[in-house]
Amino acid sequence: MRQLEDLIDRDEPAWPMVQHWIAEAAVPVEVLPVDPQSANDALVVTQVTTRSPMGAIVHNSAGIFIDNGWLRFLAGGGHPRFLRSLPSWNAGKSDRFYLVADDVLGGFFAINGGLFGEDVGKIYYYAPDSLQWEACDLTYSEFFVWALSDRMGAFYESSRWDNWLIESRELNGDQALCVYPFLWAEGPSIGERHRGVVPVAESWTLQLDLQKQLDG
């Protein structure tokens, strides 16, 4: 494993570029401050240099809330509003994908490590309305820029309801909404379904279990 000093790029750090992307964002963005020790620990476990946007985000934020917390990018963690870090959230999961972000409805974004096909390094979305992984045809950096644009709102347009903004803001980065009837099941519009707050870890486990049951 590379040591901390080998992972911090002082000549060409990506954080100024990430900050520029955030400044130009079409949606609200909140960067949570990170404790230096948590940032260092997360970077070492992640093993990505700060020359890359992922490494820069991990080392300079506890997490990033996009569009009033609708979408959350995992980073250094340890903040009261976002305890999960990028490496801790992936610990014990598959080494053939790497979870990097999730939304309030229990949708998960992951980097393909070989599980989903030959496009290794590209982002896939686990959709709660289909319980399937869907190709996004974006790298991590492209995905982050996409999330800051109007295209993200268009992507979720059919998944939002009248009070989504209020409910999204009330969640922290370790919570999600469990919608019932489930989004993959027939029923009324999402605004008319029951929505309850659950730990995001519970949302992840529940959806994988449901997928296995439906797949037989």
Check pLDDT > 80 for residue 7: yes
Predicted pLDDT at 121? 98
Angle ∠(196,198,202) on CA atoms, nearest 5: 135
Predicted pLDDT at 8? 98
Check pLDDT > 90 for residue 215: no
Predicted pLDDT at 5? 97
pLDDT digits (tens, 9 = 90+) for 128-177: 999 999 999 999 999 999 999 999 999 999 999 999 999 999 999 999 99
pLDDT class of 211 with cuts at 50, 70, 90: confident
**Average per-residue pLDDT for the chain:** 96
Please state which of the ranges 63-72, 102-111, 154-163, 204-213 shows the lowest mean pLDDT: 204-213
Helix axes 15-23, 140-147, angle to 10 degrees: 30
Burial of 151 (0-12, 13-18, 19+ CB in 10 A): exposed
Task: Provide the domain count of the chain.
Answer: 1
Distance (Å, rounded) from C-alpha 5 to C-alpha 183?
Answer: 45
Region 29-52: mean pLDDT is 98
Which two structure tokens, joined as six digits, stand for 165? 């903004």
pLDDT digits (tens, 9 = 90+) for 46-91: 999 999 999 999 999 999 999 999 999 999 999 999 999 999 999 9
pLDDT class of 216 with cuts at 50, 70, 90: low
Tell me the pTM. 0.97
CB-based contacts of 169-173 (< 8 A; 24+ apart in sequence): 169/68, 169/69, 170/197, 171/69, 171/104, 171/197, 172/80, 172/81, 172/82, 173/32, 173/63, 173/65, 173/69, 173/72, 173/79, 173/81, 173/82, 173/83, 173/84, 173/200
Share of the chain above pLDDT 90, in %: 95
Residue 100 belongs to domain spanning: 4-214
